[in-house]
Amino acid sequence: MTEDLFASPDRENLAPGAVLLRGRALPLEGPLLEALDEVTAQAPFRRMVTPGGYEMSVAMTNCGEAGWVTDRKGYRYDPIDPETGRPWPAMPAAFRRLAAEAAVDAGYPSFAPDACLVNCYEPGARLSLHQDRDERDFDQPIVSVSLGLPATFQFGGPKRSDKPRRIPLQHGDVAVWGGSSRLHYHGVLALKDGDHPALGRRRINLTFRKAL
Ligand code: MD3
Ligand code: FE
């Protein structure tokens, strides 16, 4: 028998090093949504272009020391927002606090993110299966926070051909991806239409990384 010493109704161990904390963001909902508006006022959502020339269906922005960007030249982290020519907005205190606390809960007590990618899904938007490999240190976990409309997350394995599991994600859920799952393929199925009381017809995902 396998004993789970950290079992709890709000906690799901998805894989070695990967933990889903259901509702973990809800106590900070107000401050998170206020901070989100401040970030997007300074660095508006935009649909970026992949190196292959396709416009992504997910609109993105960033905060923190570095932001994830894509264009015809490739994927990278950049300290400057190419749309505004200014540094990305600072990472709000509520964002930083939630990311650090969730990482502690998941067993990563020294996680110090320097980048937060903010993804905005409208109905139909999706993220095809991919790996997150643009960061320097794959020993650092990634913390992701789901807000707004529910979505179906695809959690695959180390090979693109590994059949992904479907994990429903709801407003307030936080997932921490580290250990041997850090380089697993993952994606998000096309968002279904709906109306969320706080965010309307949108899903927002905050992804915290130590990129530099
Ligand atoms: C599993 N975003 O921006 S992060 C991304 O909902 C991205 O917008 C998703 O994938 C979204 O790159 C969810 C969840 C995530 C991030 C990294 C992982 C899951 C992961 C790394 C390994 C395994
Ligand atoms: Fe990803």
Tens-place pLDDT, residues 130-181: 999 999 999 999 999 999 999 999 999 999 999 999 999 999 999 999 999 9
Q: Are 191 and 122 in contact (CB under 8 A)?
A: yes
pLDDT of 9 reads: 82
Q: Ligand 2 centroid to 181 CA: how many Å?
A: 12
Q: Ligand 2 centroid to 1 CA: how many Å?
A: 33
Q: What is the CATH number of the domain that holds 103?
A: 2.60.120.590
Nearest CA to ligand 1 atom 14: 144
Inform me whether the pLDDT recorded for 124 exceeds 90: yes
Distance CA 49, CA 35 (A): 26
Distance CA 80, CA 147 (A): 26
pLDDT of 12 reads: 96
What are the pLDDT digits (tens) for 80-92? 999 999 999 999 9
Q: Are 70 and 48 in contact (CB under 8 A)?
A: yes
Helix, strand, coil shares of the chain, percent, nearest 5, are 15, 35, 50
Integer distance in angstroms from the first to the last C-alpha of the chain? 41
Domain that holds residue 152: 3-209
Q: How many domains does the chain have?
A: 1
